[in-house]
Chains A and B, each alone.
Chain A
Amino acid sequence: MATGIGTAVRHQVDFRIRAGRLLARTSLYMVLSLGAFLFLVPFVWMVSTALKEAGDVMKFPPEWIPQPVLWGNFVEAFTQDYAPFGIFFKNTIVITATAVFGQLLSASLVGFSFARLRWWGRDYLFLVVLATMMLPYQVTLVPVFVLMKVLGWIDSFLPLIVPFYLGGGAFYIFLFRQFMMTIPLELDDAARIDGCGTLWLYARIILPLSGPALATAAIFSFLAHWNDFIGPLIYLNSVSNYTLSLGLRILQGYGGYGIQRWNLLMAASLFVMLPVLLLFFFAQKYFIQGIVTYGVKG
């Protein structure tokens, strides 16, 4: 009897707890869904605008499904004679690929030196590396521009590439150093006993083991160069040298001489974003790893 009442009470309590949990769960899912909707709807909006006819863009409330679907907007956005997007695409690929390569090569070598080699002044210099992370690029913006001018590199790709071959930036050095420090030191000793040189050790043993760090660095470097705006804005002047970011700027600017054609602008923007989105879907793990290394371990 007593147990019976006890069970009943327990059941009642249980039920209230479960009801409370269910309510909490439901509201959690509702909040998450609303949030997800708000985070995704800009993408949908972008695609929808990019495929609309000019006349349908300026309609309120908006029509979400374009009628008709104009794939031709992409063609039209890229074939304006004042904005040769084929060339912009090629330029962006050349600059991004060369800069990413240099950045990985250089930062991994320097990171290797800080992580695996013992040399005079190493720890002091590493402090300097960390300090430069705090230095805003604005401080060196003007003198570096003047330097590029003296070198005759204005309106060429060189200012956007060469600096990355020299160290590759504090964040990347730091990333490689942190990763390489986790590789067992015995490997080095074994290699030394085999009579291997330092560069061999770097190229044949440490670098191949640094795959995850390389992937993370490659992704972040790619994003930085692909989306870079202020660098090209300052250094590139001729349209034939423009990158995609500056190409978008042309399309935006010339809206001023007619009606701003948002459908074309969204088509072009979508095109510029697409490689980043694709990369994200294939390599999400490394995106998160990079951020977390930076954020938690740093």
Chain B
Amino acid sequence: MKSFLSRRNFLKTGVGLGALGILAACEMPTAGTGDGAAESAELSVWVWWPSPVPSLIEMGDTFMEAHPNVTVSVEAPSDYWTKVQTSIAGGAGPDLFFMNNVNYWSWAHRGVLYDMTELAAADDAMQDNIANSWQGAVDFYNYKGQQFGMPYMYTSIVLYYNEDYIDSKGLALPADIEDEMDWNRFREYGLALHEQDGDDVTMWGLYSTAGIETGWLNYVRANGGDFLNDDNSECIIDSPESIEAWNYLVNLRREDGISPSPEALQAERANSLFQTGRIALYPSGNWEMSFLNEQLKDFTYNITLLPFSPQTGERGGTTNIVGVVINNNTPAEDPSWNLMTHLLSKDSQDKLARANVLAPVRHDSAELYYDPALGPANRGAAFEMQEWTTALPTHDVVTWGEMMQPTTEWQTEIFEGRVSVEEGLANMAESVNSLF
């Protein structure tokens, strides 16, 4: 299954229900105050990276005010997925924890997540949350008719660029010519922006060798291909559309030499190169905006849409829909559910939007997140990009880790030029298919 999200649908539900939602949220009592207030519990919430922690702590504080007998602690453990898994299997673990797009199906399939289908249907506050949220994401968390989690926030992939540097080269800014920026134009920009003194590269023109999420899958999809077929039964990364897209990316590295190679980037990653002004055009996720806004001092950056394929005239994108799930062994079902409802409320989602972590799943809060005042100026591009966005691949029996192991291995082989694109992709598809 894929969750399709079109800009039209998004806007329609967003504007239409958004207004209703705000009204409803004002009238609605805080979730579960009636029955939840009396029950005492110590709830722990886990998330796998530190950025959301401060805003989650704030939401927890608001929740505790309404539920004086409940305490909420928020943690970001190391080796997150292993820890969640062993602690749950060991009979402990967090009450609520964060889940991502690529892992959700296999976790739902394993039966360690709390089935909230009935609770959700019976809870007015949650129904209101759902009505105001991106429907595709809610559907994504519906696994075979059962709701084992709710979406909370999501990523989108955009093109970051070094505005001052492009200006200094006398080129039009990519955001101003987004309708002309197809792959050919993108390459021309890369060639014009690249600067190198002998073997010493002072500015990489662009970055074409990233992994599945911020890299090649976006181009493969733009060209009409994909990683898995529609019913998730087969890896189709060796299709002609995909091969063409890969050839384009590989040539930017191997022929033009304007993108760093994956192995060169292991010493200093691409995000670091961009931040220190050594990559001009840098495709990456919306999660970098908060970091760049805080850390970047030496130049102005901006974002725009990813370039489109000259073959199809379409762009392509991936999203990772981050959700919240409840541990099946939680001793505090009701308080956990109430906290979950609270995390999806307008109030919490607004906090999330202002914290600038990722785009909140509620339309009425997403508006806050996409406010250009948060920076950079063309922030809305992250929102527009969604017209061409589909979720990252996921599978219920084969885990993400198992799928990515051969995938990243062949990806490196291809970008390093140790196998041809055709051969590498055939191997990649074959290795992934052997898992199904």
A binding-site residues for B, Cβ under 8 Å: 58, 80-82, 145, 148-149, 152, 154-155, 233-234, 237-240, 242, 246, 249-250, 252-254, 257-259
Contact = CB atoms under 8 A, between A and B. Distances in A.
Contact of A250 (B78, B91, B269, B291): B78
A155 B90 contact: yes
Interface in B80-94: 83-84, 86-87, 89-94
A257 B51 contact: yes
16 contacts: A58-B268, A80-B50, A81-B50, A82-B76, A148-B90, A154-B87, A154-B91, A237-B83, A237-B92, A238-B75, A239-B75, A239-B76, A249-B78, A254-B49, A257-B287, A259-B275
Contact of A238 (B44, B91, B268, B287): B44
A237 B291 contact: no
B79 A239 contact: no
Given A149-B90, A149-B91, A258-B291, A237 B272 contact: no
Interface string B46-70: 0001110110010000000000000
Given A148-B90, A154-B87, A240 B51 contact: no
A233 B83 CA distance: 8
A154 B90 CA distance: 6
Contact of B50 (A149, A234, A254, A259): A254
A51 to B, nearest CB: 21
B73, B75, B90, B91: most-surrounded residue (chain A CB, <10 A): B90
Given A238-B44, A257-B50, A258-B295, A250 B76 contact: yes
B111 interface: no
Contact of B92 (A58, A154, A246): A154
B91 A259 contact: no
B78 A246 contact: yes
Q: List the 6 closest pairs (A to B, CB-CB), nearest first.
A: A154-B90, A237-B87, A82-B50, A239-B75, A249-B78, A250-B78
B91 to A, nearest CB: 6
B43 to A, nearest CB: 12
B92 A239 contact: no
Interface in B175-232: none
Given A81-B54, A82-B53, A253-B78, 6 more contacts: A81-B53, A81-B57, A152-B91, A154-B90, A233-B79, A237-B87
B77 interface: yes
A81 B92 CA distance: 23
B271 interface: yes
Contacts of B51: 257
B351 to A, nearest CB: 16
Contacts of B53: 81-82
A162 to B, nearest CB: 16
A257 B77 contact: no
B77 A238 contact: yes
A237 B76 contact: no
Given A81-B54, A246-B78, A237 B93 contact: yes
B45 to A, nearest CB: 11
Contacts of A152: 91-92
Interface of B: 44, 49-51, 53-54, 57, 73, 75-79, 83-84, 86-87, 89-94, 268-269, 271-272, 275, 287, 291, 295
Contacts of A82: 50, 53, 75-76
Contacts of A257: 49-51, 287, 291
Contacts of B76: 82, 239, 250, 254
Contacts of B271: 258-259
Contacts of B93: 155, 237
A259 B79 CA distance: 18
Contacts of B275: 259
Contacts of B295: 258
B84, B91, B94: most-surrounded residue (chain A CB, <10 A): B91
Contacts of A154: 86-87, 90-92
A285 B86 CA distance: 42
Contacts of A246: 78
Contacts of A58: 268
Contacts of B84: 237
Contacts of B77: 237-239, 242, 250
A149, A234, A237, A240: most-surrounded residue (chain B CB, <10 A): A237
B7 to A, nearest CB: 29
A80 B76 CA distance: 11
Nearest to B57: A81
B92 A155 contact: yes
B79 A249 contact: yes
A55 to B, nearest CB: 9
B78 A234 contact: no
A233 B50 CA distance: 19
A82, A154, A155, A257: most-surrounded residue (chain B CB, <10 A): A82
A145 B271 CA distance: 40
Nearest to A233: B79
A152 B90 CA distance: 8
A155, A234, A249: most-surrounded residue (chain B CB, <10 A): A155
A254 B48 CA distance: 9
Contacts of A233: 79
A58 B49 CA distance: 24
Nearest to A234: B86
A132 to B, nearest CB: 26
A254 B75 CA distance: 13
Contacts of A254: 49-50, 76
Contacts of B90: 145, 148-149, 154-155, 237
A82 B52 CA distance: 10
A259 B272 contact: yes
Nearest to A249: B78
Contacts of B94: 238
Nearest to B53: A82
Nearest to A84: B75
Contacts of B83: 237
A149 B86 CA distance: 10
A61 B79 CA distance: 33
Contacts of B78: 246, 249-250, 252-253
Contacts of A237: 77, 83-84, 86-87, 90, 92-93
A145 B89 CA distance: 11
B73 A240 contact: yes
Nearest to A150: B91
A240 B74 CA distance: 10
Contacts of B269: 259
